[in-house]
Amino acid sequence: MNQQQFNEAGGEKPEYFEEIRTAIIEKQGLSFVYEREDGVIITHNAIYPRQLFWKGNRFYFRAYCHFPGDTRVFRLDRVKSLQVKPRQVHFTKRQQILGVAIAIFVFLLVFLVFLLFSPTYRWHSLRHSIFTYLGIE
Q: How far is CA 2 from CA 5, 6, 26, 59, in A?
A: 5, 6, 22, 12
Q: Mark whether 101 and 41 lie in a shared domain.
A: no
Confidence of residue 13 (pLDDT cuts 50, 70, 90): confident
- Give the pLDDT confidence of 49-100 residue by residue, as tens digits: 999 999 988 999 999 988 888 899 999 999 999 998 877 677 888 999 999 9
The pairing of strands 70-75 and 79-85 is unpaired
> At which of 85, 102, 117 does a domain end?
85
Adjacent-strand bridge partners of 31: 83
Domain check: are 56 and 108 in the same one? no
Same domain, 72 and 103: no
Q: Which residue has the higher pLDDT, 38 or 46?
A: 38
Same structural domain for residues 79 and 58? yes
Domain count, the chain: 2
Q: Residues 31-44: what's their mean pLDDT?
A: 91
CATH number at residue 80: 2.30.30
